[in-house]
């Protein structure tokens, strides 16, 4: 079964986010109609690492810089197509998993990087695996959190019936924009709103969609997180892009494309850590467990008292600890 640490954070010293990290360079990667924002932080001569944010559609933030020791890492953060500081905002055209995979490789080449540590959680873990399996020679290590494979059972758990039973009060808000007769297929009902012409209804639905995820990403109630997920500009890109990818099944050939043994064979040689919150409601632990069974060479670390968010204290600790360990690889 490989390496499995279930008591991940019964430790004397906990890592916390590094602070006061500012970019030393930033710019845009041109990709057809898309202008993809990126920034570099930390040590220009440090170990290259790229942060792949969640969603899809979540965008990066200044806070995520803190997962990396700025003395040890050359930190690259970019906003995927259509979100964050990338342009045009909430654009769904030419926006697929494989477009993003090519963006990552083109950005690596633009920055003159040979190989880099790839760090991604939730959707970022999906994209990390898609990228690593496509360009295995470009990846030095993988740090993955909250594993998500866009399989039907995962999407139905979170957007139809499953997580709704644990957070029924938040679920009511998710149901609100959808007519009673359309609730048998909520993903499709939202898709019809998001591709319709009623901008007011589209924004209301986007906020409801985004707020649902923000409400259930942590074990304890975090009003600030819910508020940030409910901000209109963020919510519009987050909801429209997520729904676009989910309706299209991640643009994968089949739902087991990234988790199958044959696919894992392409990256089996890459040092990797899989960090998973035991009580992750958004991306339940079953998927991380299945991935680890097909990839026993990777270390599965279970944070015993954590949910989904990378900013849960245990998970933050394990993510930074993984980066610190991999920094020693040079």
Q: Is the pLDDT of residue 203 over 50?
A: yes
Model pLDDT for residues 121-175, shown as the tens digit of each residue = 999 999 999 999 999 999 999 999 999 999 999 999 999 999 999 999 999 999 9
In angstroms, the Cα distances linking 55 to 150, 192, 271 are: 11, 20, 25
pLDDT band at 8 (very low <50, low <70, confident <90, very high): very low
- What pLDDT was estimated at residue 29? 98
Residue 123: what pLDDT?
98
Q: Residue 311: how many CB atoms within 10 A of its CB?
A: 18
What pLDDT, on a 0 to 100 scale, did the predictor assign at position 2? 43
Maximum distance among all alpha carbons in the chain?
58
Range 285-305 average pLDDT: 98
| pLDDT at residue 230 tops 70 | yes
So what's the pLDDT on residue 221?
85
Indicate the pTM of the whole model: 0.96
Q: Considering the chain, what percentage of its residues have pLDDT values greater than 90?
A: 94
**Residue in this structure with the two tokens 């930390």, named with its chain if needed:** 42
Q: Is 199 exposed, middle or buried (0-12, 13-18, 19+ CB in 10 A)?
A: exposed
The pLDDT mean for the chain works out to 96
Report the pLDDT averaged over residues 170-186. 98
At residue 120, the pLDDT reads 98
- Looking at residue 13, its pLDDT comes to 82
State the average pLDDT over residues 241-266. 98
Residue carrying the six token digits 């933030």:
61
Domain boundaries along the sequence of the chain: 4-151+252-327, 152-249
On the question of pLDDT at 220 being above 60, the answer is yes
Q: In the prediction, which pLDDT does 94 show? A: 98
The 10s digit of each residue's pLDDT in 60-118 is 999 999 999 999 999 999 999 999 999 999 999 999 999 999 999 999 999 999 999 99
pLDDT at residue 4 in the model: 47
- Report residue 245's pLDDT band, with 50, 70 and 90 as the boundaries: very high
**3-class SS at 216?**
helix
Strands of the sheet with 73-78, listed across from one edge:
4-5, 299-303, 272-277, 139-145, 116-121, 47-52, 73-78, 34-42, 23-31
Per-residue pLDDT band at 9 (split at 50, 70, 90):
very low
Residues catalogued as catalytic = 122, 280, 308
State whether residue 124 is helix, strand or coil: helix
Residue 165: half-sphere exposure toward Cβ, Cα within 13 Å: 5
| Two tokens, residue 11 | 């430790």
CATH (one of 3.40.50.1820, 3.40.47.10, 2.40.290.10, 3.20.20.80) for 4-151+252-327: 3.40.50.1820
pLDDT at 306: 97
Q: How many CB atoms lie within 10 A of CB 68?
A: 30
């Amino acid at each position: 079964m490989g390496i499995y640490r279930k008591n991940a954070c019964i430790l004397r010293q906990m890592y916390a986010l590094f602070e006061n990290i500012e970019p030393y360079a930033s710019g845009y990667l041109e990709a057809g109609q898309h202008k993809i924002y990126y920034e570099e932080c930390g040590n220009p001569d440090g170990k290259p690492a790229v942060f792949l944010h969640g969603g899809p559609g979540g965008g990066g933030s200044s806070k995520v810089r803190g997962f990396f020791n700025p003395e040890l890492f050359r930190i690259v953060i970019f906003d995927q197509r259509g979100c964050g500081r990338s342009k045009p905002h909430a654009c769904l055209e030419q926006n697929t998993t494989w477009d993003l995979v090519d963006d990552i490789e083109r950005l690596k080449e633009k920055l003159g990087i040979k190989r880099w540590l790839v760090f991604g959680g939730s959707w970022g873990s999906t994209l990390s695996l898609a990228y690593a399996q496509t360009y295995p020679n470009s990846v030095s290590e993988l740090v993955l959190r909250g594993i998500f494979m866009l399989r039907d059972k995962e999407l139905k758990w979170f957007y139809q019936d499953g997580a709704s039973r644990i957070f029924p009060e938040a679920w009511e808000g998710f149901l609100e924009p959808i007519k009673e007769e359309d609730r048998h297929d909520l993903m499709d009902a939202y898709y019809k709103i998001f591709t319709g012409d009623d901008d007011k209804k589209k924004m209301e639905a986007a906020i409801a969609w985004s707020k649902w995820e923000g409400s259930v990403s942590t074990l304890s109630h975090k009003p600030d997180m819910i508020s940030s997920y409910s901000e209109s500009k963020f919510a519009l890109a987050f909801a429209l892009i997520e729904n676009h990818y989910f309706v299209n099944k991640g643009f994968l050939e089949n739902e087991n494309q990234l988790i199958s043994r044959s696919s894992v064979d392409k990256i089996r040689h890459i040092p990797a850590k899989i960090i998973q919150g035991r009580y992750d409601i958004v991306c339940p632990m079953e998927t991380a467990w299945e991935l680890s069974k097909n990839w026993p060479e990777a270390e599965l670390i279970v944070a015993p008292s954590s949910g989904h968010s990378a900013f849960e204290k245990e998970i933050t600790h394990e993510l930074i600890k993984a980066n610190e360990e991999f920094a020693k690889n040079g």
